[in-house]
Amino acid sequence: SAVISQKPSRDICQRGTSLTIQCQVDSQVTMMFWYRQQPGQSLTLIATANQGSEATYESGFVIDKFPISRPNLTFSTLTVSNMSPEDSSIYLCSAGEGQGANLEQFFGPGTRLTVL
Amino acid sequence: AQSVTQLDSHVSVSEGTPVLLRCNYSSSYSPSLFWYVQHPNKGLQLLLKYTSAATLVKGINGFEAEFKKSETSFHLTKPSAHMSDAAEYFCVVILNTGGFKTIFGAGTRLFVKA
């Protein structure tokens, strides 16, 4: 199974600023995803990070607010732009092995973001 | 609508007693189903998965789940709870909606009393 690390593990940011979260996988994976987990809630998929092309965003999430990069098969970044207190959440990166109905996801430890 | 429902937001058991965490899904197709556990301030760990093979699936840490198509359920069980099982548990389904979509349940918080 893939091992995933994220940086930073947590941050406290001022409103209006941006934060870039890094996700590193210890092996090449086909799929990488970014999720948001708001306080006391479940996970919501933000986007699928596609290697070499633009990310695929879920309804309610846009590239201007959450730009994503994926320069290779082991690394991705998520930027939370022009932050507001409503963006305070845990952001999780996952790597997927297999495809379609056999997709198995492995998760990073998450980045806990607090926006003041 | 295709979805996944965890029937209990909180479950409390005594150490050494059985655990039952309930999950129902709604799908027009046979889904793939997973259970993940999230310990406080940690990432998610895969407990077990069902992908159309054996309906009784055994996972890590003594957990198992049974896929029951007639009941559209995938309940998670463990014969004897341990204090270290206290965590948040998520039932996850992959649905075929024209493309494959992963949906997380709302989660069930398991409390284990000494």
Check residue B28 and give its pLDDT.
Answer: 72
Q: Which residues of A touch B45 (CB under 8 A)?
A: 107
Strand ranges inside chain A, DSSP E: 4-7, 10-13, 19-25, 31-37, 43-49, 56-57, 68-72, 75-80, 89-97, 104-107, 111-115
Check residue A2 and give its pLDDT.
Answer: 85
Question: What number of C-beta contacts closer than 8 Å exist between A and B?
Answer: 49
Per-residue pLDDT at B1 exceeds 80: no
CA distances from B58 to A106, B42, B67 (A): 18, 23, 11
Per-residue pLDDT at A15 exceeds 80: yes
Q: Which residues of B touch A90 (CB under 8 A)?
A: none
Q: For the domain A10-97+110-115, what is the CATH superfamily, name and number?
A: Immunoglobulins (2.60.40.10)
Q: Kindly determine whether residue B46 and residue A109, on different chains, have CB atoms separated by under 8 Å.
A: no
Q: Which of B91, B106, B90, B100 is nearest to B29 (CA)?
A: B100
CB A54 within 8 A of CB A71: no
Return the percentage of chain A with pLDDT > 70, whole number: 100
> Which residue of B90, B94, B104 is in closest CB contact with A103?
B94
- For B56-71, write each residue's pLDDT tens digit: 999 999 999 999 989 9
CA distance B60 to chain A (A): 14
CB A8 within 8 A of CB A20: no
Q: Which long-range contacts (CB under 8 A, 24 or more apart) does A27-31 make?
A: A27/A2, A27/A3, A27/A74, A28/A73, A28/A74, A29/A2, A29/A73, A29/A74, A29/A95, A29/A96, A29/A97, A30/A73, A30/A96, A30/A97, A30/A99, A31/A95, A31/A96, A31/A97, A31/A99, A31/A103, A31/A105
Q: Which residues of A touch B104 (CB under 8 A)?
A: 42-44
* In chain B, domain spans: 3-113
Check residue A40 and give its pLDDT.
Answer: 84
* In chain A, domain spans: 10-97+110-115
- For B6-56, write each residue's pLDDT tens digit: 999 999 999 999 999 999 998 777 788 999 999 987 789 999 999 877 889
- A67 three-class SS: coil
Domain B3-113 = CATH 2.60.40.10: yes
Per-residue pLDDT at A11 exceeds 70: yes
Integer Cα distance of B104 and B114 in angstroms: 30
How much is the average pLDDT of A92-116? 90
- For A41-61, write each residue's pLDDT tens digit: 899 999 999 888 889 999 999
> Which residue of A41, A101, A106 is in closest CB contact with B100?
A101
> Which residue of B100, B105, B107 is in closest CB contact with A103?
B100
- A96 three-class SS: strand
